[in-house]
Structure formats: C-alpha cells, structure tokens
C-alpha cells in the first residue's frame, strides 16, 4: 500500500466534496467540503473525527466499523 504522507498504518485521512438538494419549504442546492481522520484501533473498529463547511457547517466524532 502506498502512503502519501508516510503516516502510521493505523491512521486514515480523507478530503471530500458532496452536493445535494435540501428539500424543505424552499428547495435549495447544497455544496459542502469536508475533511476527516480515523484512528483504527483494530482491523474492524476505528474512531472517526470529521469537520466540514459550505452551504451547511458540520462536524462530529464517531465509531467506524469495517466489514
């Protein structure tokens, strides 16, 4: 496996962009960018953190399960 930043194999970093339509009283177009990181505790479980912004701002932490 090739590592762009030569980081430990337990870490996973990503950047992304998403688009969509927010359906409510006034339909609007949504465009957001986000960045995240995951630390893999095992091959099955990881801890995730993500932030983003654009049309809407968001962030969070969570648990990743890899099947």
pLDDT attached to residue 1: 52
pLDDT confidence band for 65 (50 / 70 / 90): very high
How many alpha carbons fall within 13 Å on the CB side of residue 62?
Answer: 7
Percent of the chain with pLDDT over 70: 93
Percent of the residues in the chain that have a pLDDT greater than 90, as a whole number: 40
Question: pLDDT for 53-62, tens place per residue?
Answer: 887 778 899 9
Residue-range domain boundaries for the chain: 11-65
Residue 6: phi and psi, rounded to 5, are 55, 50
């Amino acid at each position: 496996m090739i590592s762009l930043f030569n980081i430990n194999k337990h870490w996973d970093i990503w950047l992304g962009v998403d688009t969509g339509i927010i359906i409510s009283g006034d339909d609007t177009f949504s465009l957001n960018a986000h960045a995240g990181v995951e630390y893999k505790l095992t091959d099955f479980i990881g801890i995730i953190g993500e932030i983003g912004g654009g049309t809407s701002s968001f962030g969070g932490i969570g648990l990743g399960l890899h099947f």
